Structure 1
Amino acid sequence: RGIPVGPGRGSAAGSVVAYCLGITQLDPLKYDLLFERFLNEERISLPDIDVDFCMERRGQVIDYVRRKYGEDRVAQIAAFGFLKARAVVKDVGRALGRSFSETNAITKLMPPEKTIEKALEKSPPLEQKARSEAWVGEILDVAKKLQGMPRHASVHAAGVVIGASNLKEIVPLMRDKRGGRAVTQLDKDDVEKIGLVKFDILGLDTLTVIDHTLNLIQRITGKRIEISQIPFDDPKTWELLQHGDTTGVFQLESRGMKDLLRRMRPTNILELIALIALYRPGPMNVIKDYLANRANPDSIHYDHPLLEQHLKETYGVMVYQEQVMMAAREVAGFSLARADILRKAMSKKQQYPELIAKLKREFIEGAKKKGVSRALAERIFGKMSEFLGYGFNKSHSTAYGILSYYTAYLKANYPLQYMAALLTRAMGNEAKLKAQIADCKEMGIEILPPDVNKSDWAFTVEGDKIRFGLGGIKNLGISAANSLISTREKEGEFSSFYHFLKSVDLNKINRRAIESLIKAGAFDSLDTNRAQLIHWLPRAMEWAQRMKQAQKSGMSSLFGPSNEVELPQLEPVAPWDKKTRLDHEKEVLGFYLYDHPGCILRADKADDRHR
C-alpha cells in the first residue's frame, strides 16, 4: 500500500526476528543492540512493539486492522483527564455559584502542588483564608473529595486493542464523538491488566515529510530513491551536520542541539546516535567528558579492563542503558535477563530499594568471583546506579539517529524538494512555517508567491525556487483549493481575474476565500492592483453569476458568451500603500513573506535624513 513505516522504535529494534520479519529496518547485530533489552526469560509483562507510520496515513493502518480482525474485535483506547488541585477548585467554585474572580483569588494562593492538602501545607495565606472564610473552606473540602477523579475522556494518541473475540464481551466500550468508532472505557494500563494486548500505532510527521520529498524527487527526476539504501558516508550530509544547519532535521532542530553538533562535529552514524542519546537533561554533565575523551582518546580511563570493549564506542562514557547491562554481565557475571532486572530497578530506585540492595549484594559477590575487589565493585555499581537515572535506550536512539541522518541527507542533497515537503507539513502552524521560510532564505532558496495559475495545494518546486502552496493561505479550505486546481487543469490557465470568476465554482470558492487569495497576492500575475480587485469583487462576482445563469439557460450575449465587453463599468481604485499591502499579507498568511513594516520605517527615516 506504500504507507511509510519507521525503521524502528524503542527496544524492539534489538530483535533480530523483528528485523527479519520486516517489522524493523535496522540490523541489531550491526549496531550491537541487545535482544534482552526487549524480551528475556525473567520479564513478566508482554513485550511492546511500537511502530511509527506516516502521520497522514496512520488512519488507513487502523482501518486495515479493523477490516482484517473485524470491527467488533478492534477498538481504540481511552485516555482520561483528571481533576488536579487548581482545576477542581475552579470547577467546585463554579458549581457552588461563586464567580470567576472569587475562585481565582483562591487558586492564586495555591502553589503548584498535586493535592489540595499539600497546597494548604505550603501556603499559610491559603490555610488562613480557608479558616477565616467559611465559603472558601467549603469549596476546599468538596474539592478534596473530587481531586484525582476523571474529568473527561478522550482517545489515546496511539493505542489500539485487538481482541480474540467480540470486545463487548471483554471490556466496556463507548463511541468516539468525532468518528463514532469503538473506544474502550478503560485506559491503557487497565486494558493490559484484564489481558488485552495493546498495540501502539503511532503517527510520525517525519515519515510524511520524507515520503513527500521522495515523491517530489521522483516527479522532477523520474527516479525513486530507496531511503533505506542511501550511503552513510555522504560528505554533504556530514558537512551539513557539522555546521549545525539542521533546522527541519529530525531530532536536531533545537538551538542547543545545533550547538552540540558544531562542538562535536560528528563523522559517523555511531557518533550521531550517541549525540541524540546525550542531549537530554540527565546526561548533559557527561557531554564534556565525552567530547574531551573523543578529542584525546589516550586520556580515557576505564575502571576495569572488562568495561573497555563496551564503552570504547562512546569514548569511555556510559551513554546507553545497554552498556550498564553489559557491564553487569562482564564485571559480575549477571545473565542479560538479570542485568535487565537491575536496569529496571535502578531506573526507579525510589520504588525498589530492597530489590536494589539484593542486586547489589549479588553484583559484589559476582564481581569477587571475577577477581574484582569489593571497593572497585561498589564504585562501578554506584556509577551504574547514578547513570541509570538518565540512561537512554540504545535501540531507540539508533532507530531515531538513522531517521535523523535520512532527513539530513535529503536536506543536504535535495534541498528544494525537502524544504518544499517541510513547508507543506508546516501549513496551519504559523510559527513553524515562518521558521522554515526563514531557513529557505538562509539557504538561498527563493519562495515564489502563491499564484492561482501556478500553485498547488502543497508547496512545489519550480526550477530552482519553491512555489507557495494554496494550503498556506487562511480561509481557503482544501475543497476550495482542489476545486480551483481542478478547474485550471480542465480549462487551462486563467487569463484574467474575470476569467477566473467565470470559470470556477463560486459555490465552493466563496467571496471570503477569493478575498484571501487577493490579499495573499495570488492574482498578481493577472492584476497587481489588489485594492482594486477587492473593491470590484462584489460586482464582479454578480457579473460572473449572471454569466453562469445565461450559459445554463442557453442564452448568448451579443458579443459572445464570455467577452469582457460585457463587464460592468468599474471605476479605477488607487493601489494600497506598501504597509497596507503587507498588513493584508500577514492577515492571510500569518507572517510577512517578502518585506516587513520595520524595513519601510527604516527607509522612511533614511529619506528624512537625506532631505
Structure 2
Amino acid sequence: MYLNCKTYFSYRYGTFPHELLVLTASELAVKTMALTNINNTSDIWDFVSACKRAGIKPVAGVEIRNEDTLCYLLLSRNNEGFFQINRFLSTHLIAKAPFPDRVELGADVFVIYPFNKEWLQSEPLLTVNEYMGVQTTEVNKLYGVDMQQWGSRLLMRHPVTFQDKVHYNVHRLLRAIDKNIILSKQEDTHKAGEHETFMPPATLLLAFEAYPQIIINTFLLMEKCSLDMDYEEDKNKKHASASKEDDRQLLEKLATDGLLYRYGKTNTVARERVLKELKIINDLNFNAYFLITWEILQYARSRGFFHVGRGSGANSIVAYCMQITDVDPIELDLYFERFLNPYRTSPPDFDIDFSWVDRDDIIDFVFKKYGKEHVALLGMYTTFQYKATVRELGKVYGLPKTEIDLLAEGRLQSDDKVHAQILRYSDLIKDFPNHLSIHPGGMLISENPIHYYTATDLPPKGFYTTQIDMFVAENISLFKFDILSQRGLGHIKDTVDLVRKTRGIAIDIHDVELFKQDKRVAQQIRSADTIGCFYIESPSMRQLLKKLRCSDYLTLVAASSIIRPGVGQSGMMQEYIYRYHNPDKFEYLHPKMKELLQETYGVMVYQEDVIKVAHHFGGLDMAESDILRRAMSGKYRGTKQMQRLEEQFFLNCKARGYDPGISREVWRQISSFAGYSFSKAHSASFAVESYQSLYLKTYYPVEFMVAVINNFGGFYNRALYFQQLIKHGATVYNPCINNSDYLTSIKNDIVYVGFIHIKDLERALMEKILEERDRNGAYLHLQDFIERTQVPPEQLNTLIKVNALRFTGKTKGELLWEANTLQKTNTRRIPAGQSLFQEPEISFQLPALKQNRLKDMMQDIELLGFTLENMFELVDADPYQHKLAADIPGCVHQTVTCLVYLICTKDTYTKKNKEVMHFGTWLDVKGDWVDSVHFPESARRYPFQKRGFYFITGKVIEEFGVHTIAVEQMEKAGIKKLNS
C-alpha cells in the first residue's frame, strides 16, 4: 500500500538508498511497495531484486513533476506498462518538453493524480485507470466529497522520501543545493512535507479508518501490479544475421579467412585454438556480439577510420583473426578464458578506441544501423563527494567564499555550530547520486526496445542515454559495447594522411610485426625519444623505458603495466626493474610463485597474474578469482564480496600450510593493485599503438609532430610540441595569411602554424580569410587584405603583432601605422584581388620603425602561447655558465647548478610520513631533458612559482642508468628587459 516511495535517485530530493528503503519496509512487515522516483527509473531493477530477496512484492512506477509541481504518479500493471512509462518519460525528457496535465497511457499504466477537491468538482469523471491519491495530511479535506461518485477513484498516497528528522534536514539541504539558494530563502513548494517518512502500516490504516473504501481501493490496485525480470536471460541483440545458425557460420568463415591472413596455411596451433574459441563463443551465445563488433569496424574502415581493439577481448584469437585487435594472443600466451568462459560471473566486452574526431560518427552509425528504439549510450551518475559538498553546503548556509575554502580544505579549526553542521551533513550526503552523466564509452544494443528496461535522456552529447548505469545493465544481462575515443589514434591517422599527401608514400599502419623488428624503432624506444607517442611520452614512462633499456615489444608490454600506480605504490616496479636486469640475484617468495610468475620475475604485473595467484596459490575458484580481479580494477560495486574473498584466501593459505608472513605479503601485493591493474591484453594493445606511433615518429618526425599538434592531445602543452618539431629539423613559421590554414600545415617542406593557435582570433574571420584566399588568390598587400576581408581593427592588430602579414616585407610597426591609417580612410576602391586591372597600393612615407626581437618573442608567447625561437634568449643569465643535461651523467654524487625551463611537475607523498614531495621535468638551452626530485624539506622551502626559468641546485643521483637532480635549492631566473 506504499505506492509513492523514493530513493536518492530522486536526485537532490530523496535520501534512501534502495537497500535501506527495502530493509525498512521489511522491518515494518510491508508486503507490497512501489518505487516512484522523480522523473526517472534509474534503480528500479536494483529495487526489484532487493524486494524479492526480502519477500516484498515490488511495483514499478515514476513520479512525474514539472519543476516543483507534482503532476501525477504512474504505476505499471506489468512489464508492458513499465515499457509505456519509460517511453512516455523518455519522450518528454529528450524533447525537454513539459509533461501534460493529464495523460492516458493505456490499460497497463495506472495514473494517480494528487488530491484536489476543486478538481473533483469541475473535471469529468476519472477513467478506469485514473485515480486520485490522498495523503494522511489531506484526510480532513475529504469532508463534503461525494464518495458514492468518487469513492472508487480514491487511494491512500503516503509519500516516503526520507528516513527521519535528520534526513529531512538532509532533504532540505539537497533542495537548497538544487535551487542554488541559501536555506532561509527556501519555500514550502521547494521541499517535501515533514511527514514523508516510513509510517507503520497500522498508523497509516488508522488515518483512513473512516474511509474503508479508499483502503480497499489501494490494496486492490497494488494487487493488480506486478513486474517480472529474468536476470539471467540475455537481453542483447540476439542475431547479427538472419538466425543463430547463420551467425555461427558467418563467424566461422570470417575467423577462418582471418586465420589465413594472420598465420598462413600451416599453423596448426593457431587453427586448433580458433576452433576451440568458436565452440565456446557459440555455446555461450556470443556469436552476435563478435559479429556486431566486426560490422562496426567494417564501417570504420570504409570511412578510413583507425581503431585499436584492447582490453580482455585481445585475449581472443578469433578477435585477432577478424582484425578486431592487433594483439597476437599466441605470441603473448594470453588465455581466452580471461575474456569468455562458462564460469565467468560478469559479461565480457570489447574496448574499441577510435580517434576523438571519428567516435561520434561511429556512434551515429550504430544508432542508425540497429535503430534508436534498440540502442542507447550507457548512463552513469556523478556523486556528491565530501569536499565539493562542503562547498555547496557552505553556500547554502551563506558563508563567505574564503571561509568555505578553509572549511573544505580542513584548515579551519572552529567550534562554530554552523561549521559542525556543514561537516556532519556533508558526511551524510557523501556518495549520494547527484545527476545523470554518460559512461565514457558504453553502448547497449538490445533485442527488445531499450525502454523495456530503462528510460532514456538526451544529455548535451546529443545521443540517447540510459538512466541505468553499467552495474544495473550487467545485473539484468544487458552487455555493453565500449566505443571509446582517444587522441593518439588521431595522431596516427593524420600522420599517415600527411605522409601520403606530402611524400606520396602509403603506410600500412597495421603491419605491426614490421615495426617490432625495426632497429631504428628499437633505438628510439631505448633512448626514450617518445614525445607525442601514445602512452609512452610522460616523464615517468620515459624514465622507466631508460631504466629498463627497453627495446622490444614484450618489455614494452610489461612497462605499459608496471608504470601504473598499483605496481609503483607497492614498490614492485623498482623490484621488477632490478630483477629484469639481475634474473639470477633474487629469490622467489615461494616455489608456487615462481611457477606462476616466472615470466614477470615473481612480480604481479597483470590482472591475469592476480587471477593466477588467487586461484593457484590462494585456493579461490576461477569465478571467485575473476570477482577479485574485477574488484582490483574498480569494476565491482560493494565491499562485502571483497571481505569474504579476503577471509577465504587466508583460510585456504592456512590449510595449505603456507607461512602466515608469506600469505600476508602475497595478499598485500594483490591489494596494492586495487583500481590500477591492467590486463595483459590491454597492455599489449597499448604497446601496439605505441609501436605505430614510434614507427611514424622515427621515419616521419615532422609529419608526426604536426599531427600531434593538430589533435590537441598529449601529455604536454603545445609549446613543447612546437619546440620538438623544430628540434627534429622542421622549418616552422608563424601564422601567415597567405600560407597558413585553420590547423598547422606543411607546404613545400615548410610548417606554418595554424590560425587556431592565435589567441582571441575569431573563428568566423579565420574562415573568411581562407575562403577569400581560395576564391580569389593570395593577398597582395595590407590594403588588399583589409578590403577583401573587412577585418575589424583589433583583429587586424592581432594578426600584425603575430607577424601574419610579413609577406609585405614591412615591419610590425610600419604595418600597424598603415593599418590604422587605412581603416580610418573610407575608400570605395575595388579590392585589388577582384579588380580587372591591378590598382596600385597606396604608399606611405614613414619614419624608420625598428623591430625588437625580444619584444617579438614576448608577443608570440602572449598571442600564441609559445615562441618558435629558443626561449633561453629571454632569460637574463647565461645558461652555458651552468651544467647542461649532457653534463649530468658525469656528475653523479656531485652538486650541480643548472639554468632550466620548467615543463611540468608531479606531486606525490612520502610513504612513511605522507609528506608532499615533487618531481620536476625541465629543458635546458639545447632542448634536452633534465629531471629533478624535490624531497619534503626542499618542497617546503622552495615551492614552484608557475612555469618559467629556474636555477636549480642539487646532488646528482643515479638509478638504473637514469640521472636525477635531488634539488637542495631553487630560484626563479629573471627575464631580459625588452629594450636590451
CA distance in 2, matches of 1:601, 1:468: 28
Larger Rg: 2
Q: Report what 1:129 is aligned to.
A: 416
Unmatched runs of 5 consecutive residues or more in structure 2 = 1-301, 879-973
CA distance in 1, matches of 2:421, 2:628: 48
CA distance in 2, matches of 1:382, 1:356: 10
Whether 1:495 aligns to 2:791 is no
Whether 1:57 aligns to 2:341 is no
CA distance in 2, matches of 1:602, 1:491: 49
Other structure's SS at 2:483 match: strand
Q: Report what 2:458 is aligned to.
A: 175
Q: Report what 1:260 is aligned to.
A: 544
Can you list the C-alpha shifts for 1:17-62, whole angstroms capped at 9, x where unaligned? 3223332222212211122222222222221222111111111011
Displacement of 1:142 in angstroms is 6.2
Distance 1:173 1:238, change over 3 A: same
CA distance in 1, matches of 2:426, 2:318: 52
Q: Report what 2:643 is aligned to.
A: 353
Whether 1:219 aligns to 2:501 is yes
Can you list the C-alpha shifts for 1:118-141, whole angstroms capped at 9, x where unaligned? xxxxx9934x212xxxx5566566
Q: Report what 2:756 is aligned to.
A: 471
Distance 1:229 1:145, change over 3 A: closer
Q: CA RMSD in A?
A: 3.9
Q: 2:702 is matched by which residue type in structure 1?
A: L
Whether 1:456 aligns to 2:741 is yes
CA contact (8 A) 1:159 1:199 kept: yes
Displacement of 1:591 in angstroms is 2.4
Displacement of 1:343 in angstroms is 4.0
Matches within 5 A, 1:184-583: 184-193=466-475, 195-230=477-512, 231=514, 232-284=516-568, 285-302=571-588, 311-326=597-612, 339-341=625-627, 343-344=629-630, 351-359=641-649, 361=651, 374-375=657-658, 382-389=664-671, 390=673, 391-426=677-712, 432-462=717-747, 465-503=750-788, 505-506=789-790, 510-537=792-819, 540-541=822-823, 546-547=828-829, 562-564=838-840, 567=842, 574-575=849-850, 577-583=852-858
Other structure's SS at 1:283 match: helix
Most deviating of 37-46 and 151-160: 151-160
CA contact (8 A) 1:582 1:597 kept: no
Q: 1:170 is matched by which residue type in structure 2?
A: Y
Distance 1:595 1:262, change over 3 A: closer
CA contact (8 A) 1:42 1:338 kept: no
Distance 1:351 1:515, change over 3 A: farther
Q: 1:493 is matched by which residue type in structure 2?
A: A
TM-score where L is the length of structure 2: 0.52
CA distance in 1, matches of 2:390, 2:426: 6
- 844, 856, 859: which one aligns with 1:584: 859
Distance 1:343 1:483, change over 3 A: same
Can you list the C-alpha shifts for 1:194-223, whole angstroms capped at 9, x where unaligned? 554433221110000000011111112222
Displacement of 1:458 in angstroms is 2.4
Displacement of 1:106 in angstroms is 5.1
CA contact (8 A) 2:733 2:868 kept: no
CA distance in 2, matches of 1:293, 1:597: 41
CA contact (8 A) 2:316 2:339 kept: yes
Can you list the C-alpha shifts for 1:143-165, whole angstroms capped at 9, x where unaligned? 56655444444444323333334
Other structure's SS at 2:828 match: helix
Displacement of 1:318 in angstroms is 3.0
Displacement of 1:289 in angstroms is 3.0
Most deviating of 466-475 and 589-598: 589-598
Other structure's SS at 1:466 match: strand
- 71, 77, 89: which one aligns with 2:372: 71
CA contact (8 A) 2:633 2:678 kept: no
Can you list the C-alpha shifts for 1:461-484, whole angstroms capped at 9, x where unaligned? 345553322222223355543443
CA distance in 1, matches of 2:385, 2:736: 50
CA contact (8 A) 2:379 2:438 kept: yes
Q: Report what 1:12 is aligned to.
A: 313
Q: 1:599 is matched by which residue type in structure 2?
A: L
Displacement of 1:602 in angstroms is 5.8
Displacement of 1:432 in angstroms is 1.0
Displacement of 1:410 in angstroms is 1.4
CA contact (8 A) 2:524 2:694 kept: yes
Displacement of 1:244 in angstroms is 1.8
Q: 1:63 is matched by which residue type in structure 2?
A: D
Most deviating of 592-601 and 441-450: 592-601
Distance 1:283 1:331, change over 3 A: closer
Most deviating of 308-317 and 209-218: 308-317
CA distance in 1, matches of 2:760, 2:715: 14
TM-score where L is the length of structure 1: 0.81
Q: 1:246 is matched by which residue type in structure 2?
A: T
CA distance in 1, matches of 2:380, 2:810: 52
Displacement of 1:433 in angstroms is 0.6
Give the share of equivalent positions with the same residue, in percent.
Answer: 28
Other structure's SS at 2:360 match: helix
Q: 1:100 is matched by which residue type in structure 2?
A: P
CA distance in 1, matches of 2:424, 2:784: 69
Most deviating of 592-601 and 80-89: 592-601
Whether 1:100 aligns to 2:400 is yes
Displacement of 1:169 in angstroms is 4.6
CA contact (8 A) 2:597 2:603 kept: yes
Normalized per residue, the structure richer in helix is 1
Distance 1:544 1:226, change over 3 A: farther
Q: 1:547 is matched by which residue type in structure 2?
A: R
Most deviating of 445-454 and 204-213: 445-454
Unmatched runs of 5 consecutive residues or more in structure 1 = 113-122, 369-373
Normalized per residue, the structure richer in strand is 2
Q: Report what 1:115 is aligned to.
A: none
Displacement of 1:325 in angstroms is 3.4
Other structure's SS at 2:325 match: coil
Other structure's SS at 2:480 match: strand
Can you list the C-alpha shifts for 1:410-469, whole angstroms capped at 9, x where unaligned? 111111111111121238x99611111222344343322222222222223345553322
Q: Report what 1:119 is aligned to.
A: none
Q: Report what 2:886 is aligned to.
A: none
Distance 1:572 1:397, change over 3 A: same
Distance 1:166 1:501, change over 3 A: farther
Other structure's SS at 1:71 match: coil
Most deviating of 278-287 and 84-93: 84-93
Q: Report what 1:116 is aligned to.
A: none
Q: 2:531 is matched by which residue type in structure 1?
A: T
